[in-house]
Amino acid sequence: MTVTDEPVWADAHDRRRALAAPGLLARFNLPELLHAADVHVALRLGDLLEETDEEVLLATALAVRAVRTGSVCLDLATIADVPLEAEVALPWPEPSAWVERVGRSPLVREEMVRLVGTRLYLDRYWREEGQVCDDLVARIRRTPPEVDAAALDAGVLRVFPKDGYDEQRAAARAAASGWTAVLTGGPGTGKTTTVAGVLALVAEQHELDTGRSPRIALAAPTGKAAARLQEAVQEATDKLEDATDRQRLAGLQASTLHRLLGWRPDSRVRFRHDRTNRLPYDVVVVDETSMVSLTMMARLLEAVRGDARLVLVGDPDQLASVEAGAVLADLVAGFEGSPDSPVSALLTTHRFGEHIGALAQALRDGDADAAMAALHAGSDEVELVDPEDDAAMAGFRSRVVDVAMDLRRAAEAGDADGALEALSRHRLLCAHREGPYGVGGWNRMVERLVAERTGITHYEEWYAGRPILVTANDYDQLLNNGDMGATIRRDDGRLRVVVQVGEAVREFATTRLSGVETVHAMTVHKSQGSQAHTVSVVLPGEESRLLTRELFYTAVTRAQEQVRVVGTEAAIRSAIGREVQRASGLRERLRAALGD
């Protein structure tokens, strides 16, 4: 790479470029660093408080950028280590002097920004992080609920009667005995089974204590995740051997966190339920907590009654929220080693075989050698495809198109079940939306290769065999962001879209669906919470900043029976060696508070 002293913009009219940025802000206005919005916010705050120090304004702009890229704060001591795609010689301030100058700024004095050690926060996120810590610690230190020990002992054996469920029994016992529980585990470790057991035990305890059944809320960050939670809890409930336990959990409904808290159209960050208007539920279960942002966790904790049980469920190794924060990972790390820790970990997976499990474990451990060994083991479960091997890639593309052809044949025959089965058989996952490794390119490629096989090219948007992904909640149609469907042709020639919703297959006219996209391939982010018999993971080049251990792990663990990884060894090792870096002070705050 060429080292330059000036910012390099491929497009002089790029909207991320701050044309009027002065001094240091102009030097740091790079595509992968400061954007125009970051610069303008810093300049506006500087104008309000007559702050002209360029280093202070740079720190403020970088704090805005930190939130935009998923962090809660900015660490002034380490920000200079941020990797850049272009090697630009940037005049980073000396950290200790920089911290001192920021600390003397009126922006800090007037609490526009908050400086804690070397970490710089925008005021809102400093407050939310403190609130989450304080509310969690208060819940942990609250006098625990009264528990009928004999009934709990008998109940644990009743809901988990089989051998091999020691982890679930321990987690359920801990959750039933406290106001707060954090249940972690990878895919297939039995988290939902444990949740059903916990709810049965808590319901029994609540009945013994109050003489009535508890009010239970199930929630998740997205509509699709909420629907999956409801289905999974119902399935786990149906497997409970005791009829009374099944009756206790009958008819539970799940919703998004926004709906649970009472979304207000006049506010992006406040809800109808808050500290002055608490949720009426006795038990609140939140699934896919890894996807919950710091702001949403703050809103949830202030809305849950202190005498209500809160159960947070998720996998801390998966991709975090698209908004600021990595709350679940921070909670697990912050509570680690504390005798008051509410965290219970499920470690034994039941979803996939030993070879996928070995690869997933290697990714969790950050062990590149073990991951390469799993990929080269020659197992039917795990396959490595070299993108530089033309023959191997031709074979891979052919197998991807085979699935699309199966979907097309079922769709043309009007076979809804067959089309949905073909759709659930395979997921092609990419890190990027566009580019040579992106979803757009693979979608177009599959459509072109299908056209070559059939001799029929579709120029219209809708065609039989088009797989679709719902990209926005549609409450009128009862469809959730993340639902997938297949386009089929009925006997009268009309195209219809069929979507599996729980046990039912629902059918829609194409004209009634607006927020959808073609999904021969999808991003790893949008695949979170889903699963398929076979998963193909297309890794970008080793230089891609989206290529992280969390992304790779999330993709691999979507597979039930087989996973194919398309990537070079360099890309694989780069992914495993690059963890998502989200600056936060939550884990340190928790450790300090629990150590008091």
Report d(CA 572, CA 566) in Å as an integer: 9
Q: What is the average pLDDT value for the chain, to the nearest integer?
A: 87
- Top mean pLDDT of 268-282, 289-303, 502-516 is at 289-303
The confidence score (pLDDT) of residue 2 equals 40
| CB < 8 Å & 24+ apart, contacts of 5-9 | 5/88, 5/89, 6/88, 7/88, 8/86, 8/88
Report the DSSP beta bridge partners of residue 536: 428, 564
Instruction: Please compute Rg for the chain using Cα positions.
Output: 26
- Enumerate residues 6+ apart whose C-beta is below 8 A from 316: 184, 290, 328, 329, 331, 332
The confidence score (pLDDT) of residue 1 equals 36
Section 527-554 average pLDDT: 86
* Under 8 Å between Cβ of 214 and 200: no
Q: Confidence class of residue 334 from pLDDT cuts 50, 70 and 90?
A: very high
Over 70: is that where the pLDDT of 7 sits?
Answer: no
Which residue in 366, 344, 274 sits closest to 553, CA to CA? 366
Over 50: is that where the pLDDT of 29 sits?
Answer: yes
- Enumerate residues 6+ apart whose C-beta is below 8 A from 154: none
- Give, for 167, the enclosing helix (H) or strand (E): helix 166-176
Q: Confidence class of residue 520 from pLDDT cuts 50, 70 and 90?
A: very high
**pTM of the predicted structure, to 2 decimals:** 0.86
Section 132-147 average pLDDT: 92
Which residue in 62, 63, 121, 132 sits closest to 295, CA to CA? 132
Section 137-165 average pLDDT: 88
Over 80: is that where the pLDDT of 32 sits?
Answer: no
How many beta carbons lie within 10 A of that of residue 216, not counting itself?
Answer: 21
Report d(CA 408, CA 486) in Å as an integer: 9
pLDDT tens per residue across span 341-390: 999 988 877 666 678 888 988 998 899 999 999 998 878 889 999 998 89
The confidence score (pLDDT) of residue 189 equals 80
Q: Confidence class of residue 187 from pLDDT cuts 50, 70 and 90?
A: confident
